[in-house]
Structure 1
Amino acid sequence: MSASDDPDYEVGYRKPPKHSQFKKGKSGNPKGRLKGARGFKTDLRAELSERVTISENGRQRTLTKQRLLVKQLAASAVKGDVRAISKLADLAVSLLGPEDEAQQSVNTLSTEDDAILQSYLRRNSKGDDHE
């Protein structure tokens, strides 16, 4: 006895009416993505990982397109291109993370604290010599 024949079949949460359920063998999204179709992210990753041969300082080198783009962006930034500098800085911060100034300030002692620490270390090192 199937659920559709069952008079006790209860419609409710996660139990849709039989007439609105997906039919057996029929896709729920017939116009959806085709099998094997690649997305933009996959295409971009494949394109950037392709290798190209360039001539650098009179020598032939093979680099990925991604590496070549980074080299060209860095070269433009070094030449003073403000937009390239800005983009390179944004990429560096987003991918490598900002310098943690808070952590640096925790590790840096004030002059007063440093003097106290030095005094303590001098006193303790003198005590070690006597033992």
Structure 2
Amino acid sequence: MSDDDSETGSRSLKTGRFQPGRSGNPRGRPKGTRNFSQRIVAQLSKTVSVIENGQKRRMTKGEIAARQLVDKAAKGDIHSLKLASSMVAAHEDHSLQSRIAALSEPDDDLVIEQVINRIRGTLQRNKQDPTDAPSSQTQAVKGEQGR
């Protein structure tokens, strides 16, 4: 057989379509193409008609999926319960972080860190020398004397 196998139509390694230094996809992924998570979100946000308690109602697929997940968890399905609780925890953590990020400014983090360090220093000093820190009983007695 020769290097160029004309019977099968295949190419030899020397004249193959992959050349050194050239990408297999030189133009890359087109702009605006959706990735998998974007496609899932788009599908979950589509509305469909359902019949609930004898009445026709429009709901998103995400709402339907959430109801079904919670219903299965309520019936005792351990997998559904774990999934639902992990989703709630992830959502709460994300929403808390976004609220904190929206409220804080860059200098706030530095101020908060300094306050925490002061509190830690005070606690450590009180642990090292408990006689310096006034006890709650001493303060109560002094408060009564001032009356």
RCO comparison, higher one (Cα < 8 Å, 6+):
1
TM-score if structure 1 supplies the norm length? 0.49
TM-score between both structures, scaled by the size of structure 2 = 0.44
